[in-house]
């Protein structure tokens, strides 16, 4: 039976980077026996333009009938004046909530070939391999009440950060399970010295650890210290588990250990569905210029092969093809540091050629 993939290119550079991932999947179909088909649908600003909805009903139907979802990016300045429910980012929040994608896996691996691309010293970042497990469908991005109103004679905005015990338990389990496949260490990040919601987070993570995962090393860290430690000594971390807001910020910070946010893939996983996307945004300033780095999206497709399509063997080949391409000195502009660079499509072609050589 063919594996069915819902492809959502989205906005900005989304269509460009997704196209390079589809080239890789074509090579896997033709050369390595992957039996995958895909259909495209709109989301974000593209969804609004097509159907006046950033998460159209037709897209909802397609993703729920698929084995996995591959997403590009959403957003752009042309939609910023829309009402919040119509903005591209609302579509992204809705698909995560609709599919129950509560666990966001964001790996940060520093490739030896790109040590010089990082702004940190090579000895600080060499060997870094961190997995941020971010809770994705609760916390301050979804909490109620929220609003924008006049309060005591001036404009006021307010949001609610709320976590239920069950939400913390399930994301903690995902982190501990992931750690068992890595270096067996979890660092839980919150702000328990200030926030009651973080007190609950720490208590529940500790309970899950003691009851089910005492074989895994657990530590706790306040988010401000974690942000500093990611720069000071990133190799101390294996798996970081944290809430929606803190995970959003820390994973973007961690991305710069690699030298470019264009290198980081992600997987958003629930009980039934999963979606794969680069962690970067739509980069409207370079959209349509063939400058984007597609490697994060190609590596997201590798995560899709591993976690949703049960083809870890092919995921390893894609990841090796990316490493071999970097070994050959191929760089997009974000990685080139003033040296020669290739276009987005040329990088995709180079990975495809490296992949064919592994047959």
pLDDT per position as a tens digit, 47-87: 999 999 999 999 999 999 999 999 999 999 999 999 999 99
Question: 341 pLDDT exceeds 90?
Answer: yes
Computed over every residue of the chain, the mean pLDDT equals 95
Domains of the chain by residue range: 1-102+261-359, 129-256
134 in Cβ contact with 243 (< 8 Å) = yes
Q: Of 42-46, 116-120, 339-343, 354-358, which gets the smallest average pLDDT?
A: 116-120
Q: What percent of the chain has pLDDT over 90?
A: 90
Give the chain as a 3 state SS string.
CCEEEEEEEECCCHHHHHHHHHHHHHHHHHHHCCCEEEEECCCCHHHHHHHCCCCCHHHHHHHHCCCEEEEEECCCHHHCCCCHHHCHHHHHHHHHHHHCCCEEEEEEECCHHHHHHCCCCHHHHCCCEEEEEEECCCHHHCCCCCEEEEECCEEEEECCCCCCHHHHHHHHHHHHHHHHCCCCEEEEEECCCCCHHHHHHHHHHHHHHHHHCCCCEEEEEEHHHHHHHHHHCHHHCCEEEECHHHHHHHHHHHHCCCCCHHHCEEEEECCCCEEEEECCCCCCCCCCCCCCCCHHHHHHHHHHHHHCCCCHHHHHHHHHHHHHHHHCCCCEHHHHCCCCCECHHHHHHHHHHHHHCCC
pLDDT of residue 339: 86
Q: What pLDDT is attached to residue 318?
A: 98
Is the pLDDT higher at 344 or at 97?
344
Q: Is the pLDDT of residue 306 over 80?
A: yes
**d(C-alpha 12, C-alpha 272), whole Å:** 29
Please name the CATH architecture into which domain 129-256 falls: 3-Layer(aba) Sandwich (3.40)
> How is residue 68 written in tokens?
């996995």
Residue-level pLDDT at 115: 87
| Residues classed as catalytic | 141, 191, 224, 248, 252
* Mean local confidence (pLDDT), 96-112: 93
Ramachandran class of 205: left when φ > 0, alpha when ψ lies in -120 to 50, beta otherwise:
alpha
What's the CATH code, domain 1-102+261-359? 3.40.718.10
Strands 217-222 and 36-40 turn out to be unpaired
Mean pLDDT over 79-101 rounds to 95
Average pLDDT over residues 136-150: 94
Tell me: pLDDT of 1 over 80: no
Q: How confident is the model at residue 117 (pLDDT cuts 50, 70, 90)?
A: confident
pLDDT at 337: 80
Cβ atoms of 9 and 46 within 8 Å: the answer is yes
Structure tokens at 202: 């720490």
Judge if 1-102+261-359 and 129-256 fold alike in CATH terms: yes
Q: What is the pTM of this model?
A: 0.88
For the chain, the straight-line distance linking the first and the last C-alpha, in angstroms and rounded, comes to 23
Mean pLDDT computed over 155-181: 96
pLDDT digit string, tens, across residues 189-227: 999 999 999 999 999 999 999 999 999 999 999 999 999
Q: Model confidence over 236-274: pLDDT tens digits? A: 999 999 999 999 999 989 988 988 888 899 999 999 999
Distance, in Å, from the CA atom of 281 to the CA atom of 17, rounded to the nearest integer, reads 11
* Ramachandran angles phi, psi of 154, nearest 5°: -145, 165
Q: How far is residue 60 from each of residues 19, 96, 124, 180, 219, measured CA to CA in Å?
A: 21, 11, 44, 34, 39
pLDDT for the residue 262: 86
- Which tokens belong to 261? 């946010």
Q: Which tokens is 191 given?
A: 């702000």
């Amino acid at each position: 039976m063919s594996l069915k993939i819902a492809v959502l290119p989205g906005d900005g550079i989304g269509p460009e980077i997704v196209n390079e991932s589809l080239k890789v999947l074509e090579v896997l179909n033709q050369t390595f026996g992957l039996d995958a088909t895909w259909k495209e649908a709109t989301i974000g600003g593209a969804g609004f333009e097509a159907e006046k909805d950033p998460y159209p009903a037709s897209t909802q139907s397609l993703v729920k009938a698929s084995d996995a979802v591959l997403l590009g990016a959403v957003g752009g300045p042309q939609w910023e004046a829309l009402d919040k429910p119509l903005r591209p980012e609302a579509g992204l929040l809705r698909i995560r909530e609709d599919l129950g994608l509560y666990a966001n896996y964001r790996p940060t691996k520093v490739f030896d070939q790109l040590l010089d691309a990082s702004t940190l010293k090579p000895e600080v970042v060499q060997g870094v391999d961190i997995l941020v497990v971010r809770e994705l469908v609760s916390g301050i991005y979804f909490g109620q009440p929220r609003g924008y109103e006049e309060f005591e004679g001036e404009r006021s905005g307010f949001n609610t950060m709320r976590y239920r015990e069950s939400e913390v338990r399930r994301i903690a389990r995902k982190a501990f399970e992931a750690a068992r496949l890595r270096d067996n260490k979890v660092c839980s990040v919150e702000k328990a010295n200030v926030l009651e919601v973080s007190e609950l987070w720490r208590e529940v993570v500790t309970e899950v650890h003691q009851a089910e995962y005492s074989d895994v090393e657990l530590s706790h860290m306040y988010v401000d210290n974690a942000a500093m430690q990611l720069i000071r000594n990133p190799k101390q971390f294996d798996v970081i588990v944290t809430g929606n807001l803190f995970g959003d910020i820390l994973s973007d910070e961690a991305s710069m250990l690699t030298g470019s946010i264009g290198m980081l893939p992600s997987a958003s996983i629930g009980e039934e569905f999963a979606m794969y996307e680069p962690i970067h945004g739509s980069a409207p300033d370079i959209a349509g210029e063939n400058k984007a780095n597609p490697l994060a999206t190609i590596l997201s497709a590798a995560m899709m092969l591993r976690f949703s399509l049960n083809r870890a063997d092919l995921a390893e080949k894609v990841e090796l093809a990316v490493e071999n391409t970097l070994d050959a000195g191929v760089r997009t502009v974000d990685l080139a540091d003033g040296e020669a660079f290739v276009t987005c499509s040329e990088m995709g072609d180079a990975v495809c050629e490296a992949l064919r050589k592994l047959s």
